[in-house]
Structure 1
Amino acid sequence: MALRGAAFMAFHHFSLIVPLAVSAIAQADVQSSWTVTQTDFTRFVDGIEMPLGMDTSRMACFQDGVVSPAVARRALEDHGLDLDTLVPSSSEGWMYVDALNPNRTVKEVVDSVASLSASPDVDFVSPIFLAGSKSLPWIVTRDIILSFENTLDEQSRDQLLKTIPGSIIESDLAGMTGVVLIETDLSNAFEVLDLVNALDQMPGVKFAQTDALWWTLPLGGVPNDPLWPQLWGLEQSNDMDMDALGAWDITSGDPNVLVAIFDDGLDQDHPDVNQIPGFNFTGNGSTGDHVTECDAHGTCVASCVSAVVNNGTGAVGIAPTSRSIGMKIFNSVSFFGFCLGFLESQDSWTVNGINQAADSGAQVTNSSWGGGGASSVINAAFSSTRAAGVLHVGAAGNDGSTTISWPASSTSLIAVAALASSGNRASFSTHGQGLFCSAPGEGIWCADAVGSPGFGTGDTVQIDGTSFAAPYVAGVAALVLSVDPSLTPDEIEDVLATTCMDRGASGYDTEYGWGFVNAQAAVESLDVETPCAGDTNGDAVVDVTDVLNVISDYGPCNSCPTDFDGDNLVGVNDILILLDAFGPCP
């Protein structure tokens, strides 16, 4: 199994210090030892010009259809590159490679890109730009994404498209009206940046950008103890918890309420995660499953939402009878067999995932990642799907700073900080302006990918991070929707905010947001009738008819009204629940 934990990994001129293990004191921020060289290059995100740094020691090259480093290196000889460092990206055709001279100037990188892009054997070349709050790799591709204003007439739109060197790959990208994905005929990043920056400022254009290939961080850690402690975030003696049992007296989640997990996949066969089949948008599979041994994060995240209850296995989610759906928009980054602790995506992968989640009926989504460069088209996808009724939840970040990570910082998401079992903010948790609320995120037990893939060799792990606080909030939102499925995202936010346990300064503050999310208070605040356990036909009495219905369904039964404990099995426990409630409903 690939090395995990705090490690120093050096790949010739490119080195990473990746402290993946979580100490008992605090979770260390992931630090990169690449040097951020400032440049004059910029990009636009939602109309705001943003600077781009650069790692001058490496480059990214694209050769259409080439996946083998051995094949790629033949085209890259005699260009000042260390071909022994050539490694493939998870995006087909892309390769990362070190320069022989790790101390190049920006001008030398520009000259090298021009020389390499002139080669007939290379289709596109980009330097390794660095973007986002963590200065993570952001690579320009030859494809661009163009969004038109609704006011632009069709003739003007067509005339503008004719000026762009290339051809349309997809109109209405991921179902987004007026958003076009175009493959240009350009050969390097600087040409594409010039094109999209000019287009972005044109009248009638909402935004223009490259279909960037970018890295981000999963906002969580790795196992720190193989023992099984109590799930303090659900219930504990000091009452610094989400009051799960009280919430479950009302609902443990409607199976029809889906929570989409945007991540590196979700173990599709995990016995302890209540889920439906997912999707893969990265081009290396057809389901939402993990693909490489470095993929593991998404299963743990999903289990915080919907790990199965009363099955005698592992952990339990806050909404155990609602269901998760894995939306694989990331591949974990590995070089030479080492898992680096980063995730890699492309803008078009992510927007397809966001829109597919809405099309699949998800009413809540979770994004436990951040630190990379923001994207206009991803912001637009979050915005349009929220307007269509989907609540988006994001992890605030793990660097202890007061700057919320993107995408949680977007106005279309609610940002969640992590709490320790004391009820205080975890030392590693990001907070600050824009924080919505807080949830358990330190010492969290969750499901791990089954077998050797995953964080450890078992099927459960203990873990820290806002990655796990966010899905707890997503799960509480699922409970709220289970009680009242008609609620809009704004209304769900209002329920969550007004029922949080106040922490820190009275009322809203930037340390805890609205406070500690409380599942019981949230569902109790809704003006609905409390369901009567055992009443299978809704006639307000538990009688012989209900007994006969339980007998009829006895055995494995998915989403049956007679499955009172939500374990997908009508059995002895359900009969006991019915007998305990026998008679008129209260």
Structure 2
Amino acid sequence: MPKIYYGTKKEPAFELVQSDDLIAVRTRSKRSLTRSTGPVAQPISAELDDGVLVVSYPEAGVEVYRIPTDRHVKSVSDRKSALRASPEVQFAGSVLVDPVSKEPVLYTENIFIKFIDTADPDDCAEIIRDAGLTIKSQPDYATNAYFVEAPTGTGQKIFDIANDLLKHDNVEYCHPELIRPRARKQIFPQQWHLKKTSINGLLIDASVNVAAAHEITQGEGVSIAVIDDGVDIDHPEFSGTGKIVAPRDATLLTNNPRPKDTFGIGPNGDNHGTACAGVACANGIDGASGVAPKARLIPIRLASGLGSQREAEAFKWAADNGADVISCSWGPPDGRWWDKNDVKHRSIFQLPASTRLAMDYVTQKGRNGKGCVILFAAGNGNESVDNDGYASYSKVIAVTACNDRGTRSVYSDFGKAAWCAFPSSDFGYAPFQHPDALTPGIWTTDRIGRHGYNPDERGHAAGDPAFNYTNSFGGTSSACPGAAGIAALILSVNPDLKWLEVKTLFKKACDKIDPQNGDYNSEGHSPKYGYGRLNALNAVELAKPQPRNAVTINRRFDAPILDMQTGSFALEVADDTPIESLAISVDIQHTYIGDLILSLQPPAGTGIDTLVLYSRSGGATKNLKQTFDTVTTPELAKFSGKKCQGTWTLQIQDVAAQDSGTLVSFGINLIFPRTDWIVPAEKAKKHQASNKTVKKNFPKKSPNK
């Protein structure tokens, strides 16, 4: 069985097994063999007539079919041979599957490889050549990273090549490009979220208080990247000068993110991204408002499968083109939420190193070093989000779904990684004693005309009569861009916040809903709701810039850093007040920072041992001017609540020959606890009690009436 390492060679690997009833077919024309739009079917398609299409990747011309295996039909092996003989077929072969879920996992003849930061680029290129590989690209979101290809026909030997490369001392990560079906986080027909209102005579008061927050901000000056399928950027709700920024089709490598009607599995086509974008930032000029209607939209179409290199490149495009917030309503396939025995509930989907490093890049380099805020839909499988390597990654905000009763939506995922909840759709399910939803849903944007969710599969209007809006969108797919909109409101009020500060602020801005059944622990965390349902008004009030209670001690040294030697540099802290956090700043001029190791020795009274701030990363880059805080160096969080009086020593080791430099300056910024991170009770009660002011970006007539 092929063994794959998505992490380092010391981290656990996972295995795939070969299916005995699946065939993968790639055509030269990229057209489907069995679903061609041409008037005459090709004879070779008869080999698949009794097969069931399991998954397709139209951009690559790849389809996977499940073939009957009883003795009265042609064998899988014979069909492969017949397909390979056809000039229209480029490849016909076996399919690997996840041993638990039995879901197909396609492999390409490409490999992602990252060498250690200090490796010589010439040595890296030589190792790649010696392995018989060709460099396709060098992703610049990580040092010494390469995307390489093996010769055509390498097949499953690609796994052996990757594992052999990983044995090199200089190789940090190495894995084949594996592609899984990318599931949209969508449940319909119901959605509701924006403000307290009456629907069908019922007062519904379970919103995130967006209308009140709009009295302060509507997301001005902030850009939200929606990575999804196509976005109908011609929709009037995305019109206006400057609304659309840096549009991209990350799969086709063009600047046209519009939906492409493909032969994708399921009835939804390329509709999902338009609805998600509308929930986040629709203008609200005609029929639907986003949470942040004045935010800019960076629409990024990603039709490539889960784990592809295009996936990683989509994140980098977002950060490099000014994204402040990145919304992702997709991930591994969900289990059947009503079936606890579904094997997908036990499946663990790891995050590939290629995508993880791209996420690291956007949190470190995005927003001029403050980091982009990344949000993921928790999932709709009524299962643990902790098994989803994407949504549970520590640099991501995982968003669950709650309903119009202020309780958990029946399908919503749960777990330790759940960070917050946002209102979305729900429906009743008697076996779980789960009641019906109170609302039929609210509108969001749909593809213009009859191509989207509206009309529905029966041809009935599922939104406005002109078919430009839908009332049938929901799930954590809707919850995620809703929370992304709140992140945009926060950054509009205070653009200086770092991504981790936004995540922390979310925690403080939530309302604790469903206290009897939420299973909140002593830290205020619920596996169902994270830290609760987001409250947009609380969030923007908390985000308003306040005078910081802080002390900065900085000294200019202009001291030499000698080759192959260690230098120590000290600062004295006199204040003995317990701190909330600290940051260490250094300014080093050096000809090869990959030679350097920086360690911080705190005063003995803190009870904390020496910790490493920086260790030989950056390769041949010159100079290091950086601030280390809890975002870049999580170990610094250990000082929270500590008295930091005493001597702080910075040790700089030059561990390799030939280069030297100078420590220009070294500083410590001590931040003391704020006493003002409380929403004024009178203001909050006033907004929540009245909610009478409705901005004109909300539709004048509710589609529910």
Q: Do they fold alike, i.e. is TM over 0.5?
A: yes
> Which residue is equivalent to 1:498?
508
> Which residue is equivalent to 2:112?
145
Q: 1:375 aligned to 2:352? A: yes
Q: Do the aligned partners of residues 161 and 489 (structure 1) sit closer, same or farther apart at CA in structure 2, a change above 3 Å counting?
A: same
Where in structure 2 are the equivalents of 1:31-42 lying within 5 Å?
A: 40-42=1-3
Distance 1:354 1:456 in 2: 30
1:461 to 435, 454, 470: 470
Q: CA offsets per residue over residues 164-217 of structure 1, 9 Å max, x none?
A: 22321112x265432212121151531112212332343222222222332121
Distance 1:414 1:297 in 2: 20
1:427 to 393, 410, 429: 410
Q: Do the aligned partners of residues 188 and 222 (structure 1) sit closer, same or farther apart at CA in structure 2, a change above 3 Å counting?
A: farther
1:58 to 22, 27, 31: 22
Contact 1:56 1:102 in 2 (8 A): no
Q: 1:191 aligned to 2:157? A: yes
Q: Do the aligned partners of residues 55 and 298 (structure 1) sit closer, same or farther apart at CA in structure 2, a change above 3 Å counting?
A: farther
Distance 2:84 2:14 in 1: 25
Q: Do the aligned partners of residues 517 and 394 (structure 1) sit closer, same or farther apart at CA in structure 2, a change above 3 Å counting?
A: same
Q: CA offsets per residue over residues 525-548 of structure 1, 9 Å max, x none?
A: 13349xxxxxxxxxxxxxxxxxxx
- Cα drift, residue 456 of structure 1: 1.9
- Cα drift, residue 266 of structure 1: 0.8
Contact 1:124 1:141 in 2 (8 A): no
- Cα drift, residue 264 of structure 1: 0.6
> Which residue is equivalent to 2:277?
302
Where in structure 2 are the equivalents of 1:351-366 lying within 5 Å?
A: 351-366=312-327
- Cα drift, residue 126 of structure 1: 5.0
RMSD over aligned Cα, in angstroms?
A: 3.5
Contact 2:275 2:446 in 1 (8 A): yes
SS in 2 for 1:212: strand
- The 4+ residue runs of structure 1 with deviation greater than 6 A are 76-80, 108-122, 564-567
Contact 1:444 1:464 in 2 (8 A): no
Q: Do the aligned partners of residues 209 and 166 (structure 1) sit closer, same or farther apart at CA in structure 2, a change above 3 Å counting?
A: same
Counterpart of 1:392, as a letter, is I
1:94 to 40, 45, 62: 62
Distance 1:267 1:134 in 2: 34
Distance 1:147 1:111 in 2: 40
Q: 1:273 aligned to 2:274? A: no
Q: Do the aligned partners of residues 361 and 409 (structure 1) sit closer, same or farther apart at CA in structure 2, a change above 3 Å counting?
A: same
Q: CA offsets per residue over residues 338-392 of structure 1, 9 Å max, x none?
A: xxxxxx4561211111110111100110111122554221121112211221110
Distance 1:494 1:249 in 2: 23
Q: 1:510 aligned to 2:477? A: no
Contact 1:132 1:371 in 2 (8 A): no
Distance 1:92 1:52 in 2: 22
Q: Do the aligned partners of residues 54 and 78 (structure 1) sit closer, same or farther apart at CA in structure 2, a change above 3 Å counting?
A: same
> Which residue is equivalent to 1:450?
448
Counterpart of 1:196, as a letter, is A
Q: Do the aligned partners of residues 265 and 78 (structure 1) sit closer, same or farther apart at CA in structure 2, a change above 3 Å counting?
A: closer
**Normalised by the size of structure 2, how large is the TM-score?**
0.60
Distance 1:110 1:193 in 2: 22
> Which residue is equivalent to 1:252?
218
Q: CA offsets per residue over residues 474-503 of structure 1, 9 Å max, x none?
A: 110000000111111011111111111123
Q: 1:524 aligned to 2:541? A: yes
> Which residue is equivalent to 1:335?
none
Q: CA offsets per residue over residues 279-313 of structure 1, 9 Å max, x none?
A: 1022286411111161100111111111123x2x2
Q: CA offsets per residue over residues 107-156 of structure 1, 9 Å max, x none?
A: x9899989988999865555333349865432001122211210222343
SS in 1 for 2:2: strand
1:412 to 395, 416, 425: 395
Distance 1:175 1:321 in 2: 30
Larger radius of gyration: 2
- Matched residues, percent identical? 25
Contact 2:279 2:478 in 1 (8 A): yes
SS in 2 for 1:362: coil
SS in 2 for 1:139: strand
SS in 1 for 2:382: coil
- Cα drift, residue 57 of structure 1: 1.9
> Which residue is equivalent to 1:556?
none
280-289 vs 489-498, which deviates more?
280-289
Q: Do the aligned partners of residues 355 and 77 (structure 1) sit closer, same or farther apart at CA in structure 2, a change above 3 Å counting?
A: same
Contact 1:267 1:290 in 2 (8 A): yes
**Normalised by the size of structure 1, how large is the TM-score?**
0.72
2:260 to 288, 291, 294: 291
Distance 2:148 2:223 in 1: 33
Counterpart of 1:499, as a letter, is A
Q: CA offsets per residue over residues 24-67 of structure 1, 9 Å max, x none?
A: xxxxxxxxxxxxxxxx3332222331132554322223455654
Show structure 2 runs of 5+ residues with no match.
37-41, 198-202, 263-268, 334-348, 366-370, 426-440, 456-466, 547-693, 698-705
SS in 2 for 1:69: coil
Counterpart of 2:469, as a letter, is T
Q: Do the aligned partners of residues 515 and 59 (structure 1) sit closer, same or farther apart at CA in structure 2, a change above 3 Å counting?
A: same
Q: Do the aligned partners of residues 79 and 500 (structure 1) sit closer, same or farther apart at CA in structure 2, a change above 3 Å counting?
A: closer
Counterpart of 2:313, as a letter, is N
Q: CA offsets per residue over residues 218-264 of structure 1, 9 Å max, x none?
A: 0103446xxxx9x544334554221112211110111x311111111
Q: Do the aligned partners of residues 445 and 283 (structure 1) sit closer, same or farther apart at CA in structure 2, a change above 3 Å counting?
A: same
Q: 1:327 aligned to 2:300? A: yes
> Which residue is equivalent to 1:213?
179
Contact 1:166 1:182 in 2 (8 A): yes
Counterpart of 2:399, as a letter, is V
Counterpart of 1:459, as a letter, is N
> Which residue is equivalent to 1:234?
195
Q: Do the aligned partners of residues 416 and 346 (structure 1) sit closer, same or farther apart at CA in structure 2, a change above 3 Å counting?
A: closer
Q: Do the aligned partners of residues 308 and 120 (structure 1) sit closer, same or farther apart at CA in structure 2, a change above 3 Å counting?
A: closer
2:363 to 386, 391, 401: 386
Contact 2:401 2:409 in 1 (8 A): yes
Counterpart of 1:57, as a letter, is D
Distance 1:269 1:470 in 2: 23
2:381 to 389, 395, 399: 399
Distance 1:95 1:259 in 2: 33
Show structure 1 runs of 5+ residues with no match.
1-39, 332-343, 530-563, 568-586
SS in 1 for 2:492: helix
Contact 1:508 1:514 in 2 (8 A): yes
